[in-house]
Amino acid sequence: MIEIKNLDFAYKADNVLKNISTDIKKGEFVGIVGPNGSGKSTLIKTMAGILPVHKYSVFINERDIHSYNHNELARNIAYVPQSEQFYPVKVFDAVLMGRKPYIGWAPTKKDHSVVIRVLKMLELEDIALSFLNELSGGQQQRVFIARALAQEAGILLMDEPTANLDLRHALDVLQLLKNLSDTGITVVIAIHDLNFAVRYCNRIMMLNNGTIFSQGGSEIMTSENIKKLYKTNVKVFQQDSHVFFIPE
């Protein structure tokens, strides 16, 4: 689904991403963790086609990302940034924007029916005609996910989807993303909270200083690895099948 080969990326002189290689399969839910400045957001943006990458370094559905035109890429990858500029737009119209890669002159009946289906799926029907900027953070995040789903893309990339949410809304959003990955959508998120990451994601990718430090399931989340990554001591607990981290 997403294949990355020896990816380097630099904003100016210093490389932010160094020799990243990974292969993300259809339906996986990948959580990218790592300290501030480790390159999480940059990696997500290179996958989304927002930051320019060298040829033959990022492949989407076995095709080089360079071979996609703008609209085609938007039909294959949906991206939700960490924070969006809010302006007064109705929820319906915000979600309809997800159909932009498909819309020629004007939205068709199909575009409207996709929007309504997505609104129902995310339980946004009641607020479909509310203004986006009047909603709570959790509702707004759902609207952005709805817009991404309206793109009908197989890949959903989100940069810190729980950053501005309270506990309940954060859990809601993560459960929703997990459900989406269960339906075959590939979900990749950058996330700070290790407890959330290990609980919801199938795969954790630990980034440190622009390189993949380690990746795998909950087994890589050892106190040694976390200490190396964050320079902080944590205690790792296991109860039933769940793993927890508490700073010492």
Partner 1 sequence: MTDLIHRKYKHYIRRKLLFLLAVIVLLVVFFFIGLSMGSINIHLKNILYSLTGLADYQDSVIVLNIRLPRILSAIVAGIALSVSGAAMQSLLRNPLASPVSLGISHGAAFGAAFAIIVLKGISNANTNFPVSTPYLISISAFFWSMVNTLIILTIAKLKGARPEVIILSGIISGSLFTAGTSALQYFGNDIQVSSIVFWLFGDMGKTSWNKFWVLLAVTIPATLYFIKNRWNYNALHAGDETAKSLGVKIGKVRMVGMFFATLASAVTVSFFGVIGFVGLVVPHIVRRFIGNDERFLIPASALFGGMFLLFADTVARVILSPVILPVGILTSFIGAPLFIYLLIKNIGRAYND
Please say which residue, 38 or 151, places its beta carbon nearer to partner 1. Answer: 151
Q: Which stretch binds partner 1 (CB under 8 A): 69-77, 177-185, 186-194, 225-233?
A: 69-77
> Pattern of binders to partner 1 over 1-40, x per CB under 8 A?
----------------------------------------
Between 155 and 194, how does the x/- string for binding to partner 1 read (CB under 8 A)? ----------------------------------------
Nearest-approach distance from CB 37 to partner 1, in angstroms? 19
197 binds partner 1 (CB under 8 A): no
Output 27 or 107, the one with its CB closest to partner 1: 107
| Secondary structure (DSSP) of the chain | -EEEEEEEEESSSSEEEEEEEEEE-TT-EEEEE-STTSSHHHHHHHHHTSS---TTSEEETTEEGGGS-HHHHHHHEEEE-SS------BHHHHHHGGGTTT-SSS--HHHHHHHHHHHHHTT-GGGTTSBGGGS-HHHHHHHHHHHHHHTT-SEEEEESTTTT--HHHHHHHHHHHHHHHHTT-EEEEE-S-HHHHHHH-SEEEEEETTEEEEEESGGG--HHHHHHHHS--EEEEEETTEEEEEE-
87 sits near partner 1 (criterion: CB under 8 A): yes
Question: Per rule CB under 8 A, is residue 120 in the interface with partner 1?
Answer: yes
Single out the residue of 12, 14, 36, 85 in contact with partner 1 (rule: CB under 8 A): 85
Identify the residue among 40, 45, 142, 203 touching partner 1 (CB under 8 A). Answer: 45
List of residues contacting partner 1 (CB under 8 A)? 45, 48-50, 70-75, 77-81, 84-90, 92-94, 97-98, 100-101, 103, 112, 116, 119-120, 125, 128-129, 133, 151
